[in-house]
Structure 1
């Protein structure tokens, strides 16, 4: 499973914004053209800007397929998502599980987050000893260490709701059935080594690219180097840092999409919210379950709030 040879600066379109983005310049790929089928859906400008044709803007499909052909005859295929993602600032932490009867980080929790209309559903990724990606928060489950156990054994584990421990692949495939809720993918730092964390980042990006999910996925992590690896592999990926020990200026300098800090960090440094916005960064805050803290953050116009109480926050943002 290889990476895309061609890189794009964007993977979505809307009726009001038909511009998808640009093909990133590369000495190895000086000339790229649209496939014959893609020519009916897109235009490719001399400056390598891809735009959806007017006739394709009203497609009922969740995405359009874009096939680009390089001069060596190789093709890369992308799914350009029709941007109908809701914009209510509510991100369900580990999916919507607390008040739904689902298990956190389960496929059911993702489905509930989508059904209730959250702008995003967050989930956590670890890598098995034989490099298969699984969705779970902690490094171990029922005493089984995920990073030190082969995938065949992890596949036998059951969540409290009866689901098998989900793979990243299964989680992506479920999320790609719709275009209303973003998939907020947290890459967990390795408990074994920094090198393994880098390998995990590579595997995650490859899996996202395999399923052409770039337009649906935002990446977050506590490991700064993991996020820098993601950007190395996909320069326009949307990445946000969780640890809280970097200023907005530092994040902007390294090409990050946003900051995603604990509520305590932003209560101590409320000026970071305005600074981040001035630098073009998004501001997400975790994990906020207190109604008063929600109100404080909403008053300061943060972009997203990650919560175990999405139902409560949804009611607040509707007012």
Structure 2
């Protein structure tokens, strides 16, 4: 656990790191920067702390309630309630491990808007039907547009239907696919901006990073927490690394 004093020292170092231009690979904090004092996964604090250390982006997960409220949470079930089958009022009193209330998308975006240098890597979670997924995409893209954040928000999804709907409804947006079952060429044909695949997918298909780059696609890998894996993907020329250990990755990139 990082203390408040230690965190302030880290922030100063990270500002220096962020001002340098030699680091080609960029850092995305997985569910924010939550491995630090008073933080929690997908919390507002985790987003703010990710912004404070100067990473490229902060990844977070979005689900839709039964009454179409978009909330920030990773799991589809919370405290024995299935989120897409539960009204928001029943979820509104739930608190995270750091004592914060379960955030809704609007307040998460608002905090991000106040930290303009950080990208918000928004994952729309898969839902039980294509119709619900389409509604979720409509809700999210309308909110992002209303808040004037089209250039700050980037999208990712496991559901191919969600990806295709994002491309259809927000054609200028950056959209990457997570599921790992499609080649770079197939993603290019669909209209994706990039691939965002698990570490094991890239290690199985060692040519996909170079192939993607030749096609003009971006490459992101998740979730990379070990130094040897970080160094491997940096050497492979990956564009983005999603990690729970952003400070470690910053140190490695700084040394390189």
Give me the TM-score of the superposition, normalised by structure 1: 0.71
Q: Deviations over 1:222-250 (max 9, x none)?
A: 00110110111111110000000011011
The answer to whether structure 1 residue 287 and structure 2 residue 220 are counterparts is: no
Q: Which residue of 1 aligns with 2:82?
A: 145
Residue 145 (structure 1) shift = 1.6
1:64-75 correspondence to structure 2 within 5 Å: none
CA-to-partner distance for each residue in 1:4-24, whole Å, 9 max, x for gaps?
A: xxxxxxxxxxxxxxxxxxxxx
User: Is the 1:284–1:305 Cα contact (8 Å) retained in structure 2?
Assistant: yes
Give the structure with the larger strand fraction: 1
Aligned length: 234
Higher radius of gyration, 1 or 2: 1
Is 2:224–2:241's contact at 8 Å kept on the other side of the alignment?
A: yes
Say whether residues 1:278 and 2:239 are aligned partners.
no
Q: 1:57-206 to 2 correspondence within 5 Å?
A: 89-190=26-127, 192-206=128-142
Aligned 8 A contact 2:25 2:238 in 1: no
Cα drift, residue 139 of structure 1: 0.4
RMSD: 1.4
1:252 and 2:188 correspond: yes
**Alpha-carbon displacement from aligned partner over 1:167-208 (angstroms, at most 9, x marks no partner):** 010100000012211000000000x22221111111111111
Distance in 2 separating the partners of 1:151 and 1:131: 8
Output the CA distance in 1 between the equivalents of 2:141 and 2:24: 25
What secondary structure does 1:109 align onto?
helix
Counterpart check, 1:268 vs 2:204 = yes
User: Is the CA contact (8 Å cut-off) linking 1:94 and 1:122 kept in structure 2?
Assistant: yes
Note the C-alpha offset of 1:88: 5.3
C-alpha distance in 1 between matches for 2:210 and 2:175: 19
Among candidates 302, 306, 316, match of residue 238 of structure 2: 302
Instruction: Return the alpha-carbon distance in structure 2 between the equivalents of residues 107 and 247 of structure 1.
Output: 35
Q: Which TM-score applies when normalising by structure 2?
A: 0.89
Match of 2:143 among 177, 190, 207: 207
Correspondence 1:40-55 to 2 at 5 A: none
Distance 2:164 2:33 in 1: 29
CA contact 2:177–2:195 (8 Å) conserved in 1: yes
| Unmatched segments (≥5 aa) in structure 2 | 1-22
CA contact (8 A) 1:100 1:112 kept: no
> Which has the higher relative contact order, 1 or 2, with Cα contacts under 8 A spaced 6 or more apart?
2
Aligned partners of 2:194 and 2:117: how far apart in 1? 20
User: d(CA) in 1 for partners of 2:197 and 2:161?
Assistant: 17
Q: State how far apart, in whole Å, the 2-side matches of 1:244 and 1:257 are.
A: 14
Q: Is the CA contact 2:25–2:234 (under 8 Å) kept in the aligned structure 1?
A: no
User: What CA distance in whole angstroms lies between the structure 2 residues aligned with 1:318 and 1:196?
Assistant: 43
3-state SS of 2:48 partner: helix
Distance (Å, rounded) in 2 between the aligned partners of 1:273 and 1:241: 14
Are 2:170 and 1:240 aligned? no
Equivalent position of 1:41 in the other structure: none
